[in-house]
Structures are given as C-alpha cells and as structure tokens.
Structure 1
C-alpha cells in the first residue's frame, strides 16, 4: 500500500479548522477581544505553515486570506460585521473542500487534477455583493456540511487490537501450561514464584496496552459541537431567525463511528428546531420571549446508554397540523380520533410527515425525521419526545454504546465480580436484619423514609463470563446475623436496593459488547476487562431494578451447605494443587494470592477454614493468623499454616499465634492432610 503523504496534515488541519470555526462563531456573538483574535491568527498561521510544508498552495493561500481578514480586529474594538463573518466561514468551507479532495494511500490518484474552488474563486465569491455561500444553497438543496475527517487511523487501531488479542491468547496458553507443570512436577519455590510473577506482570501490561488502544477509538462528543452550532447559525440566517445554540455534556466519549451516525441525526434535529420550532424575532417579542430563540443540546451518560437531548424554546409542535398531514397521506394513525399529544408526536417522529406547506431548503419534504429514525435503527437506539404549545419541544435519542468509557461500581454478587454503572448508584449502605421490612410480595428497606424494594438478583450464565472457582451458597446463624450491604439504585424514576456480597470500589472502565456467542440476558448490558484482563459483566441498572424483590426469608429456609475453604498462598502452583486435592474430596474452595486479599475476603464472607502459607510478600502467614484471632468475627474460623520450614521455633510460634495445625510441605501426605481438614471443618 502506498504511503499517504497527507496523513498527518489531514488530522492537524481538521483540528485547526474546527478550532478556528469555533472562534469565528464566538466573534459573531459579540464576544470580541484581542486575545481571541490573536489565538485565531496563531491557529491560521500554523495551518498555513503546515500547508506550505506539504506543498498545498491553494490551502495556504486561502488561509493567508483568512489571516488578512482577521488582522484588523487584533486590538479591542468592534466585532466583525456579519458579512465579514460570512466571508471567513466561506474560506473555511473552501479549505475543508480542498481537504476532502486530497488523495490518500487507498485512493487511485488521477493524472488530471480535480476541479475545485481556487483561492481567487473564493475571494471573488466572498467579496461579491450579498454573497453568502454558507446560506445560499442551490435550489431545493440542503446546505452541505463540511466533510468529516476519514477515520483511517481506526483501521490501524483495529490491527493493533487484533495483535493484542493474539498475544492475550498466547499468554493464556502459557498460564495453562504453567498450571499443568505445577500439578505434575513441584518446581522449586523461587523458580515457580519468578515464573508466575513474570507471567502475571506480562498479563497486566498487555491488558493496559489493550485498554489504551481501545481508548484511542473513543471520541469526545464535544467534537460535534462546532459543526452543530454552525448548522444552527446557517439555518437561522437562511430563514431570517435569531438563534442561540448551547451545548453541554461534551466530556462523554464514545466510538467515533457511532458518533458519526448520531451527528447526522443531531444535524436534522437542530435544523428541524430552527425550521419548525423557533419563531421569528417579531413573533417571539409579541409572545413575551427574547428575540433570539434558544436550542440546547445536552449529552448524558446513562449507564450503558448515551442520551442526546435537543431542546428548543419555540412555539412547540403544531399537533393539529400533524393530524391534518397524516390524514392527507391516508396514514393508519389518522383513523384514531382519540390520539393524545404524546401519540400524535410519536406519529410525527416516525417520519414521512411535514407540517410545512411550502418546500424550502430546510423543510417541506417530510424526510428530516426519517434521517433521525434511520440513524436510530442502525444503532438500535430509541427516539422519544414531548412538546408544549408556546413553550417548546424536547427530542431525546437514547443510543446503546458498544464501546464507551464509563464510571462503575465494582461489586461481588452471587460469587461473581460484576460492575454497575455509577451514575445509577445513589448510595451504598449497610443494612442489618432489623432494618429489613418483610412483606408477602418481597422484602424492602426504608430509604430516606420511603419503602423501596430489596432485590437479590439472580445472575445467569451470561454474567459468569470469567472462569472462576464455583462456590456454593451457604447460610448459618452467624451469616444471618451479620449486616449486609446494599447498593441503592435509581433509574427511570424508580428506586430500589440491590444486595451485594462485597464492594471493591469505583473504577473507570471501557464498556464492551457481549461476546457474539453469549446468550442474551436482559440483566447484562456489556462487559469490561478487569486489571488482570479477565472479562466481567456490566449489569443494566434498569433490569436490576425490574428484578423481583427478595422473598421473605421464611419462604426460603437456609440450605444446609458447608462453608468454603479459603486458600491463601502467593504461589499459583500451590494454590492449584491444594484446590485440586480439596475439590476432589468434595470441598468447596476459594483462593487468595496474598494475606491482605485473604483478610479482605474473610471480612465479607464466612469460611470453614483458612489454609495459609507462611512466607508471602507483605503480610506473612503468622501475621494473618494473629490478626484473624484478634477479630471477633474471624477468631472462630480455624487456621492451618503450611510452610517449607520445619523448625520447632516456627511450630511454637504458629501455636502461640493461634493456628489449629501446622503442615510442612516436604512431609506432605494427602491422606493426613484431608483428615486434618475434615476434622476442623463443619462437614
């Protein structure tokens, strides 16, 4: 493939053009100051220099003309008049046009040059009387938007991700081989520890690299603000209206390809707001409104969705005109005489209807909302709206995201580590048995004086994305008496509390779609990779809240299931070996790679036995036993210390610390080991 000589120039030029356009629009609002003009001149100078470097004389000349137009306004004073602003925007459009015609490495370069507007042509157009290229389109044609930057770099990111996936597969194979070797041949502890540490470090670094590559695909929603403001400006000028455009929520980031599709829909919503919603200045003043209408675009992350809300303060939708238009087209909806406001608005949002009697550059064909509807169909999104006569209209686009950066709460539910979108979490609280309100239709708790459902979600196989050690559900008097944790969620105007077994904290993650072969599960909205590169489920808040409340405890007596054994050892080989032996004997097993992790797990779950290595980085086995014996909720759980040490002093120290047994690795006997474990557990 031939090298693209303009690859970096395209990216830089479009970023500079976007910043210059935003600045010019600020000038038009009367926010004129010398610093703003100086910044625009610097940006233009940078663009001109870059164009000279790649020998694009036409772009350099157009940019030079833009500099000449900006120079008179370097000092504080009057802002440029509208015709001057129009001339600047015309040049920016011309530069964008030249950029869109640049050949790339994937394009076949023609010998004959492509005909495009020269700098002289643009200068003549801008200086002609009453010329306004940005708002005088050809007859019956909608003004074209500047061409968006081609996302050629996405292919490079995809290639990088494919390579990372292959490396991840190789690393997983290495882990399996190491586990097998560890089971069949006991490696010296030092060698085994170094190998395990190296593989785990590689895994973490590979995960971080993949995470970084994925984030390169994400684009700030604010990237479309300047384009939409320009659309609102040009549309308003073309019909003689005054409009103020305001946007918020630009910090939301999502896949650039999704944003491209959404941008097409947003452009139509903004144009519709100008054409059908915002009144003329005279009409607004008569109605007691400011002369300039206001269009507000707000983006909001809602868990696994992004909400785009377009609000105008215009006259509202003429629903009588919608009904007349539907009847004139013999639409099925026209036969429903009892339709209310919301139902007629839904008819309008389905597209194919125009309430404008004359065709203009902005309206009259009934296809504007078709573009919005088709965009939502492509993205599996949803469109809704509401309108009030004389006050305005709100249209909302709710788009599911296949790749987005979101904040989540990491929790453990039913022995599975999962994430809940943080924006749905109102608070996390501890609840004791006395706080639970028992009712025939399910348990509840009081939250700020209001009774809300207490839900114990059942996670299906789809939520169990990672290969984790299966742990049985257990119940005992001690577990029943311990306070539980609940996350209070609010979504769609409904609030409920969800029981969680353990809290891990908050984290910024990349939300990914479910694997292609995963079974559909309404409660699972997507996946993310944890710090070890293991896929975990992201739960859908609305589905969690819709789950049935926890049944009263007397309806479901506690099952007589033995509590699990917790293995605490920094050696992967030892953990795997001991797990294999215990599970073969019918025990349920969990593991921790450090004493600190084991202590954290023990404080959130009941265990029948702790099987603890002595020599570990950080807290050692002796210290774990001493700390657990000093904890009122843990001191009754017996501890077995396992070590390569065979000195009387170590055995004496283990006894003083409170260990129930001491096993020397070099004298390990499987039968005696199982007899010891069996005698200390409640099996």
Structure 2
C-alpha cells in the first residue's frame, strides 16, 4: 500500500482492512487443515496470518484482539512442531477465533471490553481442545453439532488491494452511480467514434462515382480521336481530365487520412470503454469465498461432512451482479447441504466418500457468465416430487402422470413450494428457489436445473457479465429500431405465411413439438398495422412452454452490443420498455422488456381477438361489424361484457384500466367505448373527458357502466361527456345490448 495517502483513515480502519484480508487467508487455510491437519504450507500461512494480526493489534493497543490472535498463533505453532494434531474441535474453535477478531475490532459495545466474555470462553475452549478435551460446544459422538451462529463481521473500512497488485497502485473511492455515468460516457464515446465509419463509406462511394466519371471522360476523349490543339473543345476536355485526376488524388489522400483518424479514434474509444468496464469487474471468487466456511459449518450442524470447491474463481463479473448473487447462491448452497447431500453413513453405504462435495463454478461462455452449483448427493426423488406437486394442488390427478422430469423440476421454483414436510431453521418454507429465479430474471438471466438419481443435482445460472452492457438483437418495427436482449430470445426464424394455422380463432405456428401463438410487435407497441404483403414473416420466439409467443417484426437488423442507459425516472415504468441505448450512428434505440412484453401479449390474446394480425385477412368482415372497446379493471366484469357483446355480433376489444383504454382508443377506430368508473392509473371519468376533448375522438359514443347508481354519480358521468350511464346490476336482462343498439345500432350494417 506504499504510495497511498492514508491520512484520512484511522489506525483502527487500517487494522480492519488488514483483518479483512488476513481473515480470508485464515479461513481458507483452516478449512484446508481440516482435511489435512499436517499440511505444512497451510499451517505456515495460518500461523503467519495470526502473527501479523497480533502485531497489528498490539500497535494500536487493541488488547482483546492481541489475546485472541496470540492464542491462535500458539495453537498453530504447536501443530507445526508436532506437539498437537489439529482436530475438528480445534478447527471449530479457531474459526470462532476468526469471527471474534472481527468482534474485537468493532465499535463498542460489541468490541473492546464488550467482547471480554466471548474471549474468555474462546481461550478456555482452545485450551481444552489442545489438552485433548472437547471444545466448549462439542456434542456427543454421533450427534449433529451446532457451531452456533457466526459473529457478525464488521464491513472493512477499506477494500484491500487485490493480490499481486503493484505496490504503487492507489486505491480511490468512487460511487456506483459515478461509475455507471462514467461507463455510459465511455460507451457514448465509442458510439461517436464509430460514426466516422458511415461517413467514410459514403466518401468511398463518391470516389467510385468520381472514378466512373473520369473513365467516361477518358472514353469520350478516345472516341473523338486526334483533335486539333487549337480546338476549344479539346482544350476544355483536357482541362476536365486534369481536374478530375487532381480531385481523385485529393480524395484518395483525404480518405486515407480519414481512415487513419477513424482507426485511432475507434481504438482509443475501445480502450477507454474496456478500461472503464473492467473497473466495474471483480473476480468471481471475491464474492463467494466466504461460502466455504458457511458450507462447512452448516454441514457440521446437520451431522454431515461437506466441502465447497470453487472453480473458475478468476472469472470477471460485474460488481452489482456479484452483490446480487450473494443471497441466491446462499439459498442454493443451503439446499445442496440440507436436501442434496446424504449423511456420512448413507454415503459410505452408497459407495461414496464420507465427505460430500459441492462445486461452485463460474465460466464465461458466448459473452455470458455461467454459474453452476452442483452437488454429488442423492439427487431429486422424481416420484416424491410428483407426489408433492399433486399434494399441493398444482396439477390434477389426470395430468400429474404425464409430466416429464424436466417439467417436474420446474415446480421447485414456485413460491412456497417445498418437498420437506418439516420446517427447520435451514429449509422447508419454500422461499428459496423462487427468490433465486426472481433475482436471475431481474438481471435478464436464465435458471435451469437437472438431477440424476444417486449422483447429484445441478443448478445453472446464465447471467450477463455486466448490467451496463447487453447483447441484443436489433429489429425494425414500423421503420424504427428496437433492441431485444438475447437472453430473452429462444429462437429467430423466417416463417412462411402458409405455415400459419388458426386455432380457436388465434394464429399459431408449429415450433418443435408444440403450437406457439403469433402476435405482431406493431400491435403490442401500438405502432399501427404490420406489413401484410410479405411471403415470409420475421419471427422472434420469446418465452418458454405455455408462455411462449412468436413476435412478428418487420425485419432483423443483426446483433448489437449496447451500453444500457436508464430511462428518465420521471417517466416511471414505460410499458414493454426497460431502457434505452445508442447505436453506431448515434441514433437512440429502445430496449424491450421481454417479460413485460410477454404479459402484454397474453393480455391481448386472452381478450379473444388478436387485432393487427387478423386485420389483413378480415377487412371485409370488420366493415360489417361494429367495434366496441370495453374498459374495466375487473376481469370478471370485463369478460362478461365481452361475451355479451360478442354473442350479439359486435367485435370487442378490452382494456384493463383507463390508461390502457386511452392508449387503445387512440391507436384504432371504435364505434363505441364502454367504461367503468373506479379503475387504477386513470378512472373512467378522466377517460371520458380525454375522449370528448380530442377532436378526432369526440364523436365516438361513450357508455359508463358502473356499480354506482346514485343520481350524483350519474350526473358526474354525464357532465364529463358520457352518452349513456348504466349500472352493472342491469346485466341480468338485455338492458346493456339495448343501450348499445340505441347508441351505435346493430352489430352488422
């Protein structure tokens, strides 16, 4: 840390920083010594860490930490010299000593004199273990031991420099928001640098045209043959040739300069962007090494033996994602120890080593980070899972037998679902795996699970390397580019119109072994009608299983890596959109929220009619049927009104609240709007007011259908501009249909 200005930090802050680094070394070494108590390299590293902490604590007069570190050092020196052999009891107590050092370094009342009772207990336990007795909290042989909850670690005031960093490197503090802004600016500089390329390409095309013109002049000169030098035409033609040659040379030189500038600017912007992005990255192991201790302690408390293997710890990952991974990985590792691993006796009987192994692996693949949590335990009992699914009422008796293993494993991610019949302080409440999947979806990732009976279970998380940059598919919708995150795309394809089938009034196409619904991006985003003359449709398959949809776009523009720019918070949540970005030419592009878009597709499909896709083939039918928009936040009322009107021949669209209704009525023609009053986001009175104030829409009749039947409610609705006011109690007769006919006439004609 030489060369740094440490004047702003107290001596206690510096001790905490050193303690953080040395505690990691101590914990890793002690866990290794539990498997090989005489390993000289681990004994040496642990002894040196304890010795360094003792010296540092003595310098700042932190006597409680001095006493703890000294006792740990004496125990490790005795093990080095062969005077004692480290046992599980020693490791238990020494690990508690690591926790106790953090307590001693904390602020009062936990630290200082407040830690004295714990220090006395620790010293006594370590002495008994060294004298061949049991540790203070040892359980009788054969019974699960509870090491007790670890003491809370005090977050270090400083983050220690990474191992191997040059001593002259300085540490600086910067907020996450500032880092995000810096990365955004670096991304914009990269986009700006790339803007030179299209300009250079246009100059190249101009050079070609210039060259063609010069050839044409040369051809004309050759065709004229020998010309008298005194001929004015010959002199003019020669002058044109000369100027064309000069301008071509000039253009070639400028193009070479521009190409050089473009390369230097792009290279500089790339280096700036890469360096800024790398400053957000941390080695995967930085965020997960503490799980080694947690897995060991939990296994001991459950009467099991387990160790954690961290593979690919050097893989880089965004700091924000690494922080968000802590809780999900904790859930998966607890499940692996509690649900997956067998007891030592069961493992020996199955021909396995007594100690179970849980592998936590990180690796980069196709621009993404794959995190794998795998155990070598008993695997998931598929038949037991099948019975649990049935017992929870998630499927019927008739269908449970048809579910395959992959389908059954998906039930593990449902909120509140658990295969354990008894609730413990470790598991059984069914709140773990759904939280894992929720977090992964939040960062635009995917979660999969596989299991083999008797061999173990594996969870795989597929995550972006950073939240600041995403890989996308750029598509064109209504002459505008939109970006779809690749993590949300199942497949892209060109679909012949002849392959489209209509099932129960909804367009589908066969995708593998199942039928997938089709819907246009124009319809979801409210961008007018889709093109209807193409022989093939550009389709992006989103979602999986029953929630999958084929999204029809105008055309594919190719893959892009985009720097994510959050939308202005004053816009709140924009429907179907998650963020924005800039593409190469500096133009803005909206990034689609795939989950939100799938919900919008399901809402449109459940309304009974997919408007835009049908419009091309149903123009004549729509001309004969009146169109009614039903706006109500109650699914029951909305569906009842839709069925009544549809039964009488009207073409019906639905909206779930006033805001949704306002967006729909502005984008499509309707003969009538039927709306409720009390709705979220925008109530019916406001919707009526907006419609009647709009010069294009004020002629559309509006009917209010509400439970409110007081005279003042009726007057309020009519004053806003409603053409009819009806109470929902009138649904038992034909009052609704009579009112509709009065306003717009029969459904046909």
TM-score for both structures, normalised by structure 2 = 0.46
Q: 1:143 to 1:12 in 2, by over 3 A?
A: closer
- Conserved 8 A contact 2:341-2:378: yes
Deviation at 1:158, TM superposition (A): 5.1
Aligned position for 1:295: 358
1:42-441 counterparts in 2 under 5 A? 42-75=48-81, 79-99=85-105, 101-102=106-107, 115-116=114-115, 118-127=118-127, 129-132=134-137, 136=146, 146=153, 155-156=174-175, 159=178, 211-328=274-391, 330-333=392-395, 336-338=399-401, 339-402=403-466
The answer to whether the 8 Å contact 1:221/1:259 transfers is yes
TM-aligned CA distance change 1:404 to 1:245, over 3 Å: farther
Residue 33 (structure 1) aligned to one of 11, 26, 39: 39
**CA 1:112–1:284 in 2, change beyond 3 Å: closer, same or farther?**
closer
Change in CA separation of 1:37 and 1:325 when aligned onto 2, cut-off 3 Å: same
- Secondary structure of residue in 2 paired with 1:317: coil
Query: Aligned residue for 1:642?
Result: none
1:229, distance to aligned residue in structure 2 (A): 1.8
**How much has 1:18 moved relative to structure 2?**
0.7
- Other structure's SS at 1:396 match: strand
Aligned match of 2:671: none
> Residue 290 of structure 2: SS of its match in structure 1?
helix
Counterpart Cα distance in 1 of 2:319 and 2:62: 28
The alpha-carbon distance between structure 1 residues 535 and 211, as it changes in their structure 2 partners (threshold 3 A), is farther
Indicate conservation of the 8 Å contact 2:37/2:86, yes or no: no
Residues 232-279 of structure 1, C-alpha deviations (whole Å, 9 max, x = no match): 211221122222432211121112232122122112211211111111
Q: Tell me if structure 2 keeps the 8 A contact 1:62–1:91.
A: yes
Q: Distance in 2 between matches of 1:162 and 1:18?
A: 32
The alpha carbon displacement at 1:80 in A equals: 1.3
Separation in 2 of the partners of 1:267 and 1:345? 20
Q: CA deviation at 1:282?
A: 1.9
Conserved in 2, the CA contact under 8 Å of 1:316 and 1:392?
yes
What secondary structure does 1:332 align onto?
Answer: coil
User: What residue is the counterpart of 1:432 in the other structure?
Assistant: none
Q: State the alpha-carbon separation in 1 of the partners of residues 186 and 276 from structure 2.
A: 14
What SS does the aligned partner of 1:295 have? strand
Deviation at residue 513 of structure 1 after TM alignment: 3.3
* Distance in 1 (alpha carbons) for counterparts of 2:265 and 2:394: 62
CA distance 1:52–1:361, change in 2 (3 Å): same
> Which residue number corresponds to residue 513 of structure 1?
564
Does the 8 Å contact 2:443/2:467 carry over to 1?
no
Cα 1:164–1:283 shift into 2, 3 Å: closer
Conserved in 2, the CA contact under 8 Å of 1:154 and 1:217?
Answer: no
- 2: distance between equivalents of 1:197 and 1:48? 59
CA distance in 2, matches of 1:171, 1:401: 19
Structure number, greater radius of gyration = 2
With over 3 angstroms needed to count, the CA separation of the structure-2 counterparts of 1:28 and 1:381, relative to structure 1, is same
Task: Give SS of 2:371's match.
Answer: strand
Give the equivalent residue in structure 2 for 1:645: none
Q: Secondary structure at the match of 1:343?
A: helix
The answer to whether the 8 A contact 1:350-1:373 is kept is: no
Would you say the 8 A contact 1:305–1:399 is kept in 2? yes
CA contact (8 A) 2:184 2:563 kept: no
Deviations 1:71-108 (A, max 9, x none): 11224797511111111111111223445x34xxxxxx
Corresponding residue number in structure 2 for 1:647: none
Q: Give the CA deviation at 1:393.
A: 1.0
Post-superposition shift, 1:340?
2.4
Q: C-alpha deviations, 1:109-151, integer Å up to 9, x for none?
A: 999989446533432455564434996266xxx7677566578
Do the aligned residues in 2 keep the contact of 1:217 with 1:255 (CA within 8 Å)? yes
Q: Is the 8 A contact 1:126 1:132 kept in 2?
A: no
- CA distances 1:9-46 after superposition (whole Å, capped 9, x unpaired): 43332122111111111111116332332222222222
Q: Residue 62 and residue 16 in structure 1: after superposition, are their counterparts in 2 closer, same or farther (change >3 A)?
A: same
Distance 2:156 2:55 in 1: 20
CA distance in 2, matches of 1:297, 1:164: 30
Q: Mark the CA change 1:173 to 1:304 in structure 2 (over 3 Å): closer, same or farther.
A: closer
Shift of 1:297: 1.7
Counterpart contact for 1:33–1:75, Cα < 8 Å:
no
Q: Distance in 2 between matches of 1:367 and 1:114?
A: 39
RMSD after superposition: 6.1
SS at match of 2:91: helix
Alpha-carbon contact 2:371-2:462 (below 8 Å) kept: yes
1:384 is paired with a residue whose SS is strand
Match of 2:289, SS? helix
**Helix, strand or coil at the partner of 2:454:** coil
Q: Normalised by the size of structure 1, how large is the TM-score?
A: 0.50
Q: Distance in 2 between matches of 1:323 and 1:228?
A: 31
8 A Cα contact 1:270 1:310, kept in partner = yes
- Other structure's SS at 2:146 match: coil
The 1:22–1:210 alpha-carbon spacing in structure 2 relative to 1, beyond 3 Å, is same
Structure 1, residues 200-234: CA drift from partner, whole Å, max 9, x if none?
99997797567545433321111244322212211
Name stretches of at least 5 consecutive residues in structure 1 with no aligned partner.
103-108, 180-193, 408-419, 422-438, 442-491, 493-509, 539-683
Instruction: Determine the structure 1 residue equivalent to 2:652.
Output: none
Q: Which structure has greater helix proportion?
A: 2
How far apart, CA to CA, are the structure 1 residues paired with 2:61 and 2:334? 38
Give the 3 Å change call, closer, same or farther, for CA 136–22 of structure 1 in structure 2.
same
Mean CA deviation greater in 148-157 or 44-53: 148-157
Contact 2:414 2:434 in 1 (8 A): yes
The Cα shift of 1:401 comes to 3.4
Give the Cα separation in 2 of the matches to 1:110 and 1:229: 29
Cα deviation code 1:555-577 (max 9, x no counterpart):
xxxxxxxxxxxxxxxxxxxxxxx
What is the DSSP-based 3-state SS (H/G/I as helix, E as strand, rest coil) of the residue aligned with 1:247? strand
**Secondary structure of residue in 2 paired with 1:354:** coil
Once the two structures are superposed, residues 608-645 of structure 1 have per-residue CA deviations (whole angstroms, 9 ceiling, x without a partner) of: xxxxxxxxxxxxxxxxxxxxxxxxxxxxxxxxxxxxxx
Inter-partner Cα distance in structure 2 for 1:334 and 1:158: 50
The CA distance in 2 between the partners of 1:174 and 1:388, in whole Å, is 51
